[in-house]
Each structure stands twice: as structure tokens, then as C-alpha cells.
Amino acid sequence: MGPGTSGGHLIGYKRTLGIVGCVLAVPLLTGAEGEGCGGAVNSMSPAPNTEGDWDITYQDTIDVEVKLGDSVYNGTLPAEGGSFTVDHEGVTIPFEIDCSREEVVCPNEGWPETVSVEQRNDTYPHRMWVTLPRQKCSGELVDPAPEKCGPDTNNPDCDQVCEGEVVTEKREVFGVIDEAGESFDLLLGAGIASNGVNCAMLGVSAAEADLVTTGTAEGGDWRAEGMENGEVTVGYAGGCLWAREGSVDGSVEALILGGSIKFTNGFTGARVE
């Protein structure tokens, strides 16, 4: 896995930050038309009908981005995961990504092969809900150690961390269709901070795609029929980098714990008739 950055993923990341801010603002919204998130989340303007079941088709590879300190490394794996190495400052670090593990939610699990979409609020038709896998702490939530949280860490707000196992279950995820009705974004992050041992998705985890529509708002038959240029991004804290046991010394392990990993999988979607 070599160093570098991806311009396309940078654009996706910026778009993800937008939906993160949008979702965080939802409980505070007053209902005034056009406020917040570029106007989309509180917009009363028409939006295409996306309700119903969708079949999702994924690319057969996952793009992987590993961040260690100020260095970023990019690579590609099969969709089910696999092995790769990072050569960081003269040290070769081996990793294993196993999507079959219960606590690991890979992109094609975070946004599954079949999803059901709802638009529940006729007043705000740009809001959408999807039932997706989420992570839940099966043990106690405890305060993090002071040195493990704060600015420049994966837990900047010093949220409580999971002391037990992190397991996967179902939950409803909120998303927003943009004002033009041409795309959507959903935030996938589960809100569990990592304690450096358990695996927990970061707030950058999201799904987004362009919508292919028919009909018009004026005609009352505006309907989404397809999803194109889709990307699912799942981010994890450094404790979830899954370096092979015994493969690194203490100083390298500390570097890994302070890092992060991000998987991205492309997809398209078709409405189930």
C-alpha cells in the first residue's frame, strides 16, 4: 500500500462533513423553510419520491485509506477484505481486514444489498430514513483516559467509550435529499467512541449517491428510479486497524492506536418494482 491522496475521495469527504453537520443539527431545527444544511433538511419544496425497496450493486473492490500520524496510505482490497501492508518510515506494518467479523462493518454491510427507504414527513420531503446495521456497546460506557481524547484525537469531545464488546444490530439512519433532488447523503456513524481495543465507526462514515429520476415536481410524478456514482465510506479509529498480533513493537502500536482507517466502496442502486 503506497502513500498518496485521492482527489475524488477528498470531495466525498467534504460532502460527508456536510451531512454530519446537517444530522447533528436536526434536533435543533425550528422548522423554518430553507434553514440549515443548505436549506435541504428543512426545505418544504418538492423532492423526488425515493420510498420503497432498492437493490444495491457494489464494485468488487474496496479502496482503503490508512492515516498514521501525518502520513496517508492508499490501497485496494477485495470487497470481502484481505491482507495488506503499509511501509511507514522504514517499518513494514501488516494488516488484516476481515469483513466476516461480527464487530467489523464493511461498506457493503453498512449500506446493505437491499435497503428500504422512507420519507415520513410530507411537510419536509427532503428528509429520508433507512434501516441499516449499527454498532452497539454490549458492556459499560466509561469516561476515556484524558490522554486518549481531546483535540487531534479520534475522540475530540471526550465521549464515553465502550468497555465491553461492540456488536452489530439494526437501527434507523437519517439522511437528506439535496434541494435539487439530484443526490442524497446519509450518516452511518454509530456514535460509539473507540477505546483503542474495540472497533467503532467514526463520524465520517456515510453513504451518498446521485439520483436518476423521472417525471417532474410540477406534474406530481417526480420519482427516483436509480442511484448512480454511489459511495459508502466507513471510517474506524486506530484501535481497529487490525495489525497482526505480535507484528509490531510498542512504539509502532502506539502510532497505530493514534491513526485511523477508511474503507470506500462504490455502488449503484435500482428500485425494486
Higher pLDDT, 167 or 55: 55
CB 195 within 8 A of CB 240: no
The string over 83-95, giving b where at least 16 C-beta atoms fall within 10 Å of a residue's C-beta and e elsewhere, is ebebebeeeebeb
Residue 18 confidence (pLDDT) above 50: no
pLDDT digits (tens, 9 = 90+) for 164-202: 777 767 778 889 999 999 999 987 754 444 444 455 666
Q: Would you kindly state where each structural domain of the chain is located, as residue ranges?
A: 2-271
User: How many Cα neighbours within 13 Å face the side chain of 106?
Assistant: 24
- For the record, the C-alpha cell of 157 comes out as 469531545
Is residue 258 a contact partner of residue 238, using CB atoms and an 8 Å limit? Answer: yes
pTM summary value: 0.70
Using CA atoms, how far apart are residues 128 and 177, in angstroms rounded to an integer?
7
Res 120 pLDDT > 50 = yes
Residue 152's CB is within 10 A of a number of other CB atoms, namely 6
- Over residues 211-244, the pLDDT tens digits come to 999 999 999 999 999 999 999 888 877 666 555 5
Q: What's the rounded mean pLDDT across residues 247-260?
A: 70
161: Cβ–Cβ under 8 A, 6 or more apart, which residues?
A: 141, 142, 143, 144, 148, 155, 192, 193, 194, 195, 198
User: Confidence band (pLDDT; 50, 70, 90) for 107?
Assistant: confident
